[in-house]
Amino acid sequence: MFVKDFKKRVLSNYFVTSGVFVGLFVGGNEVSTSDYERKQITFSLPRESGNTVIIDNDAPIEFDYAESDWGNITHVGVFDSLTGGNLLDYAELDNEADITADTQFWIDEGGYRIEWGD
């Protein structure tokens, strides 16, 4: 019981009650073009599933339409700041997305999940 409560407090403090932002990565590097910026992401309250504590985004996240080629997005990450800051979570996409001029990247509601198990 104590461990699950601890996990819930940590996830709440770092992801739910703080302003956090999602960034896009091409391989191991964050997208770096003048028309790209991280977007704020909001998470649900932690919930339990067996011994695992889960949070996921509670609203869709839409990046602006690309004005240039951003590349093949392979990973996403959550930061504690709009620019710079600390990388709090990093995950590989199930399906990579090639973002070219006039295309848009988005994450559906519930599409970014953080699971903290044993």
Residues 57 and 116: beta-carbon distance below 8 Å:
no
Interatomic CA distance for residues 75 and 69, integer angstroms: 16
**CA atoms of 5 and 10, how far apart (whole Å):** 9
pLDDT at 17: 85
Is the pLDDT score of 1 beyond 90?
no
Phi, psi torsion values for 8, nearest 5 degrees: -60, -40
Pairing of strands 20-26, 71-79: antiparallel
Q: What pLDDT sits at residue 3? A: 86
Show me where the domains of the chain are located: 2-116
For the record, the structure tokens of 8 come out as 């819930």
Q: Taking residues 7-19, what's their average pLDDT?
A: 93
Instruction: Quote the CA–CA distance of 66 and 4 in Å, as a whole number.
Output: 41
pLDDT, tens digit, 9 for 90 and up, residues 33-84? 999 999 999 999 999 999 899 999 999 999 999 999 999 999 999 999 999 9
